[in-house]
Amino acid sequence: MISIYNTLTRRKNEFKPITPKKVTMYLCGPTVYDSAHLGHGRSATAFDVVRRYLMYKGFDVNFVSNYTDIDDKMINRANEKKMTVKELSEKVIPMYKRDYGDLNILPATAHPRATAYIKQIIDLIKKLEKKGATYKLEDGIYFDVSAFPEYGKLSGQKIEDLKMGARIQVNENKKNPQDFALWKNEKPGEPSWDSPWGKGRPGWHIECSAMSTNLLGDTLDIHAGGADLIFPHHECEIAQSECATGKQFVNYWMHNGFININKEKMSKSLGNFITLQDLIKKYSGNVIRFLYLQTHYRSPINFSEDLITQSINTLERIHDFVRKIEQIDNTGETHKEVKTCIEYAKQKFEENMNDDFETPGALASLFEFIKTINKFNEEVSLTTGDKKEIIDFLKKIDQVFAVIFTKGNDLPKELEAIIKKREKARANKDWQKSDQLRNELKEKGIFVEDTSNGTIWKRMN
């Protein structure tokens, strides 16, 4: 049984999908006005792990994650860069794909862009209009939150107690302070589309409701995103979606915790804003992904160089273990003790992951497994049969972790290039060049060893 902490109920609930063995899951993706930062990577990795574990358990997961490619931030940044909003999105989206690829994040089943769903957005606003849940002001069409008495149920606040949140437009003419724009009237120099209310563009909240319901249905199994989206974004999504359909919008709401930099909130104003690409230039995507996995997805992460160093060293323990196992060549059957150890490790891994995707506990079960196997190997030499069982087990759980066997991403690209140059020099019997490159790697903290199975490397502490 998998249990999920549901933000809506404020407790862990047993996961029961709408359709047996099938899961519909929507993750609020980035507004593509700038490159991905640590917070984007944290959210993307957290819910990639959720998706991967559901797949590991045999679920068919229809996973949708959008790109917000039209909103105020997009327009402002495009103006700064003296380019169109479309040109900006076409420049930034490939950067996200690259960075997420480096973090071993599976591509979504669908990556919808808001600008491709204008018709569906207009249709959804029309439904709300027929329900009497909208009204018109000089600057556009607004949702009337008083038409949805349950507004505030996700954030757990009453309407009268709710504070104004990010991206709720301040307008003194609104009926209620929390009312939000569904359609914004055209302004000079801004992208716009035809609609029954005149030329304009959609509000932020309506975009996700239109994309998610069109691709996944009126009721979703899981809707995920950062904790900063609970209010107002997800609160507004619930209000407009449930008002339009009369059905529950989402059964399980999941939110990941924040990232702090040296105990301070990450922000450009504080000068502690870290992009994924800056980190990936210095460290492998595996290291960054592993850093995220070491903390439960709902807990905050306090990022620091010490945490990166810890991730490098801890991940290296896993890779070092795998390299030792892969070099076993003692012919023989699998020891029953090894099979027992694998069965226990698998049980502990699944127990932790079933408990709201408890990755720190799941990783602890992996390290306990490594410790036990290493101790057994000191007493009795492992066989090729043991090797196969151990590697098969590690590959199975790495379907979820995606940090053990990922190739081409274990080292920064510049170090990979040096290792390849050295392998070429050895093939050409240019021993002087080979030694020179070995020393260069050593200076960068990488030790290489030449074996009958090829070159292996490890980080020097």
DSSP 301-339: EEE-HHHHHHHHHHHHHHHHHHHHHHT-----PPPHHHH
CA dist 336 and 159 (Å) reads 62
Query: Among 60, 66, 56, 72, which Cα is nearest to 26's?
Result: 66
Helical segments of 191-304, H only: 204-216, 235-245, 276-282, 285-293
pLDDT at 408: 45
Predicted confidence at residue 165, as pLDDT, reads 43
For 264-401, the fitting CATH number among 1.10.10.60, 1.10.730.10, 1.20.1600.10, 3.40.980.10 is 1.10.730.10
pLDDT bracket for residue 406 (50, 70, 90): confident
What is each CA distance from 148 to 114, 134, 243, 251, in whole angstroms?
25, 11, 6, 18
Q: Is the pLDDT of residue 166 over 50?
A: no
105, 414, 401: which is closest to 282 by C-alpha? 414
pLDDT bracket for residue 410 (50, 70, 90): low
**CATH architecture of the domain covering 3-256:** 3-Layer(aba) Sandwich (3.40)
CA distance 183 to 161: 26
pLDDT at 170: 62
pLDDT for the residue 371: 97
Please state the rounded mean pLDDT for residues 89-106: 97
Of 46-55, 238-247, 292-301, 439-448, least confident by mean pLDDT is 439-448
pLDDT surpasses 60 at 168: no
Backbone angles phi, psi at 80, to 5 degrees: -60, -40
Q: What was the pLDDT predicted at 398?
A: 98
Max avg pLDDT among 272-276, 323-327, 354-358: 354-358
- Banded pLDDT at 448 (limits 50, 70, 90): confident
**DSSP string of 144-165, one letter each residue:** -GGG-TTTTTTTT--GGGPPP-
Q: Do domains 3-256 and 264-401 have the same CATH topology?
A: no
pLDDT above 60: residue 111: yes
Q: What pLDDT was estimated at residue 161? A: 65
Mean pLDDT, to the nearest integer, of 7-26?
98
Measured CA to CA, the distance from residue 111 to residue 348 in angstroms comes to 34
Tell me: pLDDT of 453 over 70. Answer: no
CA gap 386, 336 in Å, rounded: 9
Going by C-alpha positions, the residue among 27, 111, 33 that lies closest to residue 71 is 33
Higher pLDDT, 309 or 452: 309
What band does 446 get if pLDDT is binned at 50, 70 and 90? confident
Q: d(Cα 80, Cα 82) in Å, to the nearest integer?
A: 6
Please check whether residue 381 is in contact with residue 387, taking contact to mean a CB–CB distance below 8 angstroms. Answer: no
pLDDT value at residue 292: 98
* Over residues 175-194, mean pLDDT: 96
| pLDDT at 190 exceeding the cut of 60 | yes
- Structure-block tokens of residue 354: 């079933």
pLDDT of residue 407: 59
Q: What pLDDT, on the 0 to 100 scale, is given for residue 420?
A: 87
Question: Stretch 140-169: mean pLDDT, rounded?
Answer: 79
Q: How confident is the model at residue 308 (pLDDT cuts 50, 70, 90)?
A: very high
Give this prediction's pTM. 0.88
User: Hey, where are the domains in the chain?
Assistant: 3-256, 264-401, 413-459
Residue 259 pLDDT level (bands cut at 50, 70, 90): very high
Can you give the pLDDT at residue 29? 97
Is pLDDT above 50 for 409? no
* pLDDT value, residue 169: 53
Per-residue model confidence (pLDDT) at position 449: 77
